[in-house]
Chains A and B, each alone.
Chain A
């Protein structure tokens, strides 16, 4: 069974801090994604990666960057956290882009 692990379940950070959200998957999937989920807006894609060191912007990349140095790990970076980045962050992976996504259990980030 695919396991996608996000490093933190809950995180509280201050405005202006640099924040790292880590995601690891154990199924050798090439494709990994970062989403944020907000009430009434659904899941919105921030960035995705289809291979090591490759990344593509999603729908809302502003204020975020990503790193994929190893196939199993995809990191989301908030360069300077702001209160409007308070959200639930979900990492996902999939073997093929037309296959279902496997999600991590999410990181609920609060920026104060």
Chain B
């Protein structure tokens, strides 16, 4: 089983739609969680950290479910500019170092 798994998509949604992605992780000792956004042929950029209590930033809401070992990202009122690949990142302690593990990403396409 992969350490971090994401549905690759693509998720095709119209402008204004609400869309949600999940990311499952296999190691229950995972400690920190993030969502990154990556545009085509560009570097990943931090979208938001995911806290145990959940967090919201404008149209974006991230949640953590430790019992079921997944994190989620909800995007409301989708914009054309939200089209990108969304990567989840999970950290866990490994041989004394924090190891960051990236999912392979979920592609979102928002159409007019």
Chain B CB within 8 A of A27 CB: no
Q: Mark A81-112, 1 if CB is under 8 A from B, else 0.
A: 00000000010000001111111111010000
Determine the distance from Cα of A33 to Cα of B89 in the docked complex, in whole angstroms: 15
- Label chain A's interface by main secondary structure: strand
B103, closest chain A residue (CB): A42
Chain A CB within 8 A of B100 CB: yes
- Label chain B's interface by main secondary structure: strand
Chain A's interface size range is 20 to 34
B46, closest chain A residue (CB): A100
Contacts A103-B43, A103-B45, A106-B43 given; does A43 touch B102 at CB 8 Å: yes
Counting from the closest, the 5 A-B pairs by CB-CB distance are: A97-B98, A42-B104, A103-B43, A43-B102, A100-B46
**Residues on A facing B (Cβ under 8 Å):** 33, 35, 40-43, 45, 48, 50, 56, 90, 97-106, 108
* New A-B pairs, 4, CB < 8 Å, besides A42-B102, A43-B87: A35-B102, A97-B91, A97-B98, A105-B43
